[in-house]
A and B are shown apart, each in its own frame.
Chain A
Amino acid sequence: MARKVAIIGTGQTKHGSQRDDVNMMEMVHEAATAALQDAELSIRDIDAVLLGNMEMFEGRALPEMWCGEGAGGTFKHCLKIATGGTSGTSVAISGFQHVASGLFDIVMAIGFEKQSDGHTPAGMALTDPLWDRHVAAGAIGNFALSISQYIAARGVTPEQAAKVAVKARRNACNNPYAHLQLAQITVEQVLSSPIIAHPVHRLDMCPTSDGACAIIYAEESRARRICAHAAWIRAAVTRHDYAYLGDLKDRLTSMRTLRDAARVAYAQVRIREPLKEFDVAEIYEPVSYAELAWYEALGFCKEGDAGRLIDDGITLMGGELPVNPSGGVLSTNPIGASGTIRVAEAALQIHGKGGTRQVPGVKMALVSGYGVYSWSDVMILSSSPG
């Protein structure tokens, strides 16, 4: 039987397009220090340090070796988890599992990426050398192809996608750590920004960011002692799928990994009506259209109704289920950290430390992670250990 586990502290760097003021290790240190401060702990209290990062982009081998020390991992149980874009949620899930197993009492999980050090699209193109590399056009190319199928299947419009992009950048203005904060952005601006891969406009896509995010987990007795409003982990599910984009006919439309991870997680917490029962969601939306597809896969609405959800403002701040009060991945994308930020932001909402992005009275929060169509992660956080 797994032990009850809660998030008792979180820490983020200021995320940005080019953090030239720090190297990668110093950036990781910045997040780790912030999380320890938030939890009012010292590095001596931490039993294990887990790192999440998507290597290749910075052209640096063994980022876990270079950054372990910055994270305080010296002479501790210290290792890296990597699952593409899901790395940040996978390392968070691993942190939970380390404590739930009973082998570790207090664990820190840190996601990080310093995209400005390297070449992300070239790193993305370093896919299977025998096949996909020949035609690889990064995450943008993959999404653009899938989006053509999603539009054909569901009839969502560029305007509806643009509304998601606007929501994210406006929400980001309430998040002091966010990269892209665009208070005045409009649907027209998104639609008039250049097409990067049809039908995706530049402002439909996430930015490239530098940043790190750390989370501290504790077992039940310490969590109760240390944290007045602990964020309890109620479910944590990972699903993996085929590698090649063409292996499945409708990856974005069906998103069967996310659908199945959500099904299992909802069953564990007895969630029947996710739109009503969750108070906030932090989901990994690398492109505007993906958020609409995830609404369906996560059961917020019927298939084909995602456009209506954004049209009706249901996922805006103040709506029935605010999605990504933080501004999401569309505002901040340090890849290895992007998933960890989702978990930290959901925990912040339960801790009651959301500042101007706080949703009132959050008891149940949903988190998702996305990794190159080959992984989905789902976590459910709650104010009650259950």
Chain B
Amino acid sequence: MREEELLRIPIKMDLEYRYPTGKHFTHFFRVLKEEGKIMALKCPKCGYVFLPPRPACGECRVPLEEWVQVSDKGTVQAFTAIHFRFHDANLGRERPVPFGSALIQLDGADSLLNHYLEENDVTQMHIGMRVQAVFREKRQGNIGDILYFRTIRE
């Protein structure tokens, strides 16, 4: 076969998706939207308080039914400032950098919430730092209703 220049075929896709949330996420998002409260589910056996909500405790393998309200305040357990550019699947475009990101233990929860920090300077972040959720003005009933967490002094 004659040597030819090899091709790459460019393809662009523009699609829409809809995801059913199931009854546990539905309750969580409804209370978040209507009352501005963050709800979690407590395991009846080991007592672990799960956020996000889910039907069962993976370790005890028992159903979760007891809803508990957790605080909008919490403690940073892990932090970073993201500097690399990437295509954000939610936005459908690049997310502006740098931005602060953290694993936050909300008061009353056991699992950690992965969310944004208002702070994007890593020298101003540390484990143990206290933060509070800042909510979207007009809540829509999704996790984006929490815009980010701001540093607080108590």
Binding site for B on A (CB under 8 A): 20-21, 59, 119, 121-122, 125-126, 129-138, 140-141, 144-149, 152, 194-199, 242, 244-249
**Residue pair A246, B114 in contact (C-beta under 8 Å):** yes
A and B contact pairs by CB, cutoff 8 A, 18 listed: A21-B6, A59-B13, A131-B143, A134-B90, A135-B101, A138-B86, A141-B82, A141-B101, A145-B78, A149-B77, A197-B84, A198-B80, A198-B122, A244-B52, A246-B103, A246-B113, A247-B111, A248-B111
From residue B125, how far is it (CB to closest CB) to chain A in Å? 8
Which of chain A's residues have a CB closer than 8 A to the CB of B80? 141, 144-145, 147-148, 197-199
**Residue pair B127, A152 in contact (C-beta under 8 Å):** yes
Which of chain B's residues have a CB closer than 8 A to the CB of A131? 52, 143
Q: CA–CA, A149 to B76, complex, Å?
A: 10
Q: CA–CA, A248 to B19, complex, Å?
A: 25
Q: CA–CA, A136 to B115, complex, Å?
A: 9
Contact of B116 among A126, A135, A146 (CB under 8 A): A135
Let me know if B64 is at the binding interface, CB within 8 A.
no
**What residue of chain B has the Cβ atom nearest to residue A146's Cβ?**
B78
**Residue pair B79, A121 in contact (C-beta under 8 Å):** no
From residue A251, how far is it (CB to closest CB) to chain B in Å? 9
**What residue of chain A has the Cβ atom nearest to residue B122's Cβ?**
A198
Binding site for A on B (CB under 8 A): 6, 8, 11, 13, 17, 19, 21, 25, 50-52, 58, 77-84, 86-90, 95, 101-103, 105, 110-116, 122, 127, 142-144
**Residue pair B101, A130 in contact (C-beta under 8 Å):** no
Q: CA–CA, A21 to B82, complex, Å?
A: 34
| Other 16 A-B pairs with CB < 8 A, given A130-B143, A138-B86, A141-B80 | A122-B88, A125-B86, A133-B89, A135-B116, A136-B90, A140-B84, A141-B101, A144-B82, A149-B103, A196-B82, A197-B101, A198-B122, A242-B58, A245-B112, A247-B50, A247-B112
**Residue pair B87, A122 in contact (C-beta under 8 Å):** yes
**What residue of chain B has the Cβ atom nearest to residue A129's Cβ?**
B19
From residue A242, how far is it (CB to closest CB) to chain B in Å? 6
**Residue pair A195, B116 in contact (C-beta under 8 Å):** no
From residue A22, how far is it (CB to closest CB) to chain B in Å? 9
Q: CA–CA, A198 to B98, complex, Å?
A: 10
Q: CA–CA, A222 to B80, complex, Å?
A: 52
From residue A256, how far is it (CB to closest CB) to chain B in Å? 11
From residue B25, how far is it (CB to closest CB) to chain A in Å? 5
**Residue pair B114, A148 in contact (C-beta under 8 Å):** no
**Residue pair B89, A126 in contact (C-beta under 8 Å):** yes
Once A122-B89, A249-B112 are accepted as A-B contacts, the answer to whether A198 and B81 lie under 8 Å apart by CB is yes
Contact of B81 among A20, A129, A197 (CB under 8 A): A197
From residue A248, how far is it (CB to closest CB) to chain B in Å? 8
Q: Closest 10 A-B residue pairs measured CB to CB?
A: A246-B112, A144-B80, A121-B86, A125-B89, A196-B84, A122-B87, A145-B78, A198-B122, A129-B19, A197-B82
Which of chain A's residues have a CB closer than 8 A to the CB of B88? 122, 125, 136
**What residue of chain B has the Cβ atom nearest to residue A195's Cβ?**
B83
From residue B2, how far is it (CB to closest CB) to chain A in Å? 16
Q: CA–CA, A245 to B115, complex, Å?
A: 11
Q: CA–CA, A144 to B89, complex, Å?
A: 19
Q: CA–CA, A175 to B110, complex, Å?
A: 45
Q: CA–CA, A245 to B95, complex, Å?
A: 20
Q: CA–CA, A148 to B80, complex, Å?
A: 7
**What residue of chain A has the Cβ atom nearest to residue B116's Cβ?**
A135
Once A20-B6, A125-B89, A247-B111 are accepted as A-B contacts, the answer to whether A130 and B83 lie under 8 Å apart by CB is no
- In this complex, the member of A121, A130, A136, A246 whose beta carbon has the largest number of chain B beta carbons within 10 angstroms is A246
From residue A133, how far is it (CB to closest CB) to chain B in Å? 5
Contact of B103 among A140, A145, A196 (CB under 8 A): A145
Q: CA–CA, A249 to B52, complex, Å?
A: 14
Once A20-B8, A135-B101 are accepted as A-B contacts, the answer to whether A122 and B112 lie under 8 Å apart by CB is no
Q: CA–CA, A245 to B52, complex, Å?
A: 11
Which of chain A's residues have a CB closer than 8 A to the CB of B13? 59
Once A122-B89, A198-B122, A246-B114 are accepted as A-B contacts, the answer to whether A137 and B78 lie under 8 Å apart by CB is no
- In this complex, the member of A138, A144, A242, A248 whose beta carbon has the largest number of chain B beta carbons within 10 angstroms is A144
**Residue pair A148, B79 in contact (C-beta under 8 Å):** yes
Which of chain A's residues have a CB closer than 8 A to the CB of B122? 198
**Residue pair B127, A149 in contact (C-beta under 8 Å):** yes
Q: CA–CA, A303 to B81, complex, Å?
A: 27
**Residue pair A196, B83 in contact (C-beta under 8 Å):** yes
Which of chain B's residues have a CB closer than 8 A to the CB of A59? 11, 13
